[in-house]
Structure 1
Amino acid sequence: MVFFSVVIPLFNKANHIENTIKSILNQTFTDYEIIVINDGSTDNGEALTRGFNDGRIQIYSQNNLGVSTARNLGIEKSKGKLIAFMDADDFWFPNHLQELANLYYDFPDCGIYCSRYKIRISKNHFQTTLFNGIEQSFRGIAADYFFSNRPFRITWTSSLAIPKQILEKIGGFTPEVTNGQDLELWTKIGIKYPVALTNKTTAIYNNNIPNSLAKNHLNSMQLMDFEQFRLSEKDNPSLKSFLDLYRLEYGLHYCIFGNKEKANFYLKDVDQKNSSLAVRLLLKMPAVFLRFFLRLKNALKRIGFDFSIYH
């Protein structure tokens, strides 16, 4: 058994996959395997991966079934004690796996182990992540995970590791969910288990290309079922506030493209005290103005200025 299994879903990331794998192979902690799941790519990303000729790299192929199914296959094929996830266009500093291993040794009963990370929002601009109520120097178990999981998320996919037995017990990613599948799984685990966090920044999240919000894509998305958390929310105000943040985000995105029915489906369950004045004002605007503001936000992001109206 290896200590870490690094699971990478690969779909048309030929421009990034080599740098991503190099950052894994440069780790100071070397007891790991790399499992790449080619999710029906049409570029040469798999060929580039095979070019490393490293015995720790395993490659499996499937039809384009989506990132959830790809990650679940990686978990199934893994032999590691901990599963570390890596997206095919992200980057680890050499200390990443060592820091997560140290965290596991010091706090062995947690459900998720997380490192700090930076976000690349444009070619030469980065954001430093901050978490409610947690100092930059803090290392340990988050006292209130859902409260602290904003304005940035403690659990970002490429900065965390989870014991394989917990993933098997929870059931992995929901294949039918095509957007927010990681958010759903981390929420399930965060309700049942403690979450530990390092004070070291060990990864870069490449978020410099705005997510596609084309109307056809948005309306075909399958989002997680919030109903599954209804009972837990009643007993945990921090969880309720955290999930309302995403109900608002999804609702506003549907408003942007004029789908009031789907917008109201998510917005109807939001507690108004969890909604900022800025969001409430935007929700009253015509869709054409919302689309203009979205284009403006993305233009600002490309020159290194990013913000969120949800916090």
Structure 2
Amino acid sequence: MHQSCPLVSIIIPTYNREKFIGEAIQSVLNQTYKNFEVIVIDDGSQDRTREVVLSFRDERVSYSHTTNQGRSIARNLALKHAKGTYIAFLDSDDLYYKDKIEKQVEFLEKNKQFGMVYTAAHCIDEAGNLLNFSYKAIDTGWIYWKIAYFADTTITLPTVMVRQEVFSVVGGFDENMHRFEDTDMWRRISKTYMIGAMQDVTCLLRTHNDNRLENQQPEIIIDNLKYYINKILSEDEVYSDFHKKGISNLLKYYKDAFLTVAEFKENRNKIEELGEYTNKIIEKELIPRRNQGYVFTSPAQLQVSQDLFQQIQSQLHYTHVQLRETQVEVGDILSQLQETQIQLKNTQLQLSKYQNHFLIKFLRNTKKIYTRIGR
């Protein structure tokens, strides 16, 4: 294999997609970039999916049939067999534009700082007609926040290409998840690697009855959303206010989505219960990965730490000004604020090297001060 033309592994999990999978595979075989392998994992199909796949007489296409266990397990099985330098994904009802692989390989070869890259995508209906909806690819770099909380960034699976070594670091897809497993993967990658974005449209994402949100079981979505939120709170070393804001965004997005579901009234209690659940699990000021403090290690966390310190500094300054404008006796409180500001300045540059005990002290100290002045 020539170094300038690295192998790309394209993973296609499928389940009862006899109607679409042939077109999906053909869109890969039509690529201008030719050094690839296609790994089709059939997750227990009971239709003619097998016959359609095996009709392709191309040695680059492999087919495996398993019992129905879910998309995450199917993708992980394919990852174990993938030989490529780069890994791409394609759902069996979606399509690649012919230059998709070529453009992304070129991008990752030239931009070694990125662990993965995603692109824009258009949407089509069941018959393949373009819809008036598309996904953009704008945000790039350290974009953990936007990925983890489904903010302005939506990374769709077929648009992604990942360096194979990334999976050795972050692991495979969470096999306990039957929804949001791709977002969970991008979240974990974005904590350690920068994410690249290409504004090129490289994929067509098909919308049909089987994959519309309103046709999916609300109980499964709610249970997986609970599981996903709990993963963020237990795994990610971030300040709880960011969690609260992000989780509110998640809940709002999916509550709004459920308004279009015929079964919404039947599941209203479950959705409200989900909101109460998130309030219960956000009880600590910080959610460390270990019991006693932690070190900010990844570049993404270092960036977060600087943003956090700026917020604390700004709040302390605001409180300081407010205290000066009041007529109450604030000698002790003002002294505490000044001391805290000095500590903040002296330790700001050390956050990436030491545990966050100072940070905890700042937050608790500030919280006590606000309580005393009736804020």
Same fold (TM > 0.5): yes
CA distance in 2, matches of 1:200, 1:165: 25
| Cα shift at 1:119 | 2.2
What is the correspondence of 1:201-212 to structure 2 with a 5 Å cutoff? Answer: 201-209=201-209, 210-211=212-213, 212=215
Aligned to 1:126: 132
Task: Considering fraction of residues, name the structure with more helix.
Answer: 2
Q: Quote the RMSD (CA, aligned, Å).
A: 2.9
| Cα shift at 1:245 | 2.5
Aligned to 1:261: 273
Deviations 1:212-250 (A, max 9, x none): 23456556657543233334332894x875554324344
What is the correspondence of 1:71-220 to structure 2 with a 5 Å cutoff? Answer: 71-120=75-124, 123-130=129-136, 141-142=140-141, 144=143, 146-147=145-146, 150-153=151-154, 155-209=155-209, 210-211=212-213, 212-215=215-218, 217-218=220-221
Q: Is the 8 A contact 2:122 2:130 kept in 1?
A: no
CA distance in 2, matches of 1:58, 1:234: 45
Matched, 1:50 2:54: yes
CA distance in 1, matches of 2:52, 2:79: 22
CA distance in 2, matches of 1:48, 1:222: 35
CA distance in 2, matches of 1:219, 1:172: 23
What is the correspondence of 1:266-285 to structure 2 with a 5 Å cutoff? Answer: 266=278
CA distance in 2, matches of 1:151, 1:208: 24
Aligned to 2:238: 233
Q: Is the 8 A contact 2:9 2:86 kept in 1?
A: yes
Pick closer, same or farther for the CA change 1:234–1:60 going to 2, 3 Å: same
Q: Which amino acid aligns with 2:158?
A: S
Matched, 1:38 2:42: yes
Pick closer, same or farther for the CA change 1:143–1:222 going to 2, 3 Å: closer
Q: Is the 8 A contact 2:39 2:78 kept in 1?
A: yes
Q: Is the 8 A contact 1:9 1:39 kept in 2?
A: yes
Question: Alignment partner of 2:114: what SS?
Answer: coil
CA distance in 1, matches of 2:169, 2:115: 11
Q: Which amino acid aligns with 1:182?
A: D
Q: Is the 8 A contact 2:113 2:194 kept in 1?
A: yes
Question: Alignment partner of 1:233: what SS?
Answer: coil
CA distance in 1, matches of 2:25, 2:244: 37
| Cα shift at 1:121 | 5.7
Pick closer, same or farther for the CA change 1:223–1:106 going to 2, 3 Å: farther
Deviations 1:256-308 (A, max 9, x none): 512232343246679xxxxxxxxxxxxxxxxxxxxxxxxxxxxxxxxxxxxxx
Q: Figure out how many residues of one structure are paired with residues of the other and give that number.
A: 261
Q: Which amino acid aligns with 1:225?
A: Y
CA distance in 1, matches of 2:241, 2:193: 14
CA distance in 2, matches of 1:40, 1:100: 31
Q: Is the 8 A contact 1:4 1:31 kept in 2?
A: yes
Deviations 1:51-88 (A, max 9, x none): 01110011111100100000000000100011101100
Aligned-residue sequence identity (percent) comes to 20
CA distance in 2, matches of 1:95, 1:243: 37
Q: Is the 8 A contact 1:83 1:162 kept in 2?
A: yes
Q: Which amino acid aligns with 1:229?
A: I
Long gaps (5+) in structure 2: 283-375
Question: Alignment partner of 1:46: what SS?
Answer: helix
Q: Is the 8 A contact 2:180 2:224 kept in 1?
A: no
Deviations 1:87-139 (A, max 9, x none): 0000110010011101101211312111221123674423132466x5xxxxx
Matched, 1:15 2:19: yes
Pick closer, same or farther for the CA change 1:126–1:23 going to 2, 3 Å: farther
**What is the TM-score when the length of structure 1 is the normalising length?**
0.74
**What is the TM-score when the length of structure 2 is the normalising length?**
0.62
Pick closer, same or farther for the CA change 1:168–1:224 going to 2, 3 Å: farther
Q: Which amino acid aligns with 1:226?
A: I
Larger CA Rg, structure 1 vs 2 = 2
Aligned to 2:300: none
Q: Which amino acid aligns with 2:156?
A: W
